[in-house]
Structure 1
Amino acid sequence: MKSSGLKSRKTERLMALVAIALLLFCPPMILVVDRISASHIGWLPLYLFSAWAIVIGLAAWLMEHRAGR
């Protein structure tokens, strides 16, 4: 019984991670970041790599996270 509860919680967290990833990489958000230009520095590559690293880090943490810790 306990195992199914943990599995559903993990599924819910992974679904939330997918929603966050979709939000971070949706075209309106990318356009907003692309329009930000301070002294002709393009922030888009930094944003894309940072968001990508955050999504991968959260996915790794969620997959490796144990309930007993």
Structure 2
Amino acid sequence: MVVEEDALEQWPEGPLTTVGREVPRVDGVQRARGQAPYTADLQLPGMLHAAVLRSPHARARVTR
């Protein structure tokens, strides 16, 4: 999935009235079907990736 524009909704203006009430899950069906987008699936322009390399031996040095 490639994100080309800001698709996030801004916080609504006005009083917050959902605390203590049931809120419909708008993506419940997508999640149940395995079709919901997750942050791990996003690819943003210029995005970098990293990995942690650890030694399996105590006090060992990781060299290139």
Higher RCO (C-alpha under 8 Å, 6+ residues apart): 2
Choose between structure 1 and 2: higher helix proportion.
1
More strand by share: 1
Q: What range describes the TM-score normalised by the shorter chain of this pair?
A: under 0.3
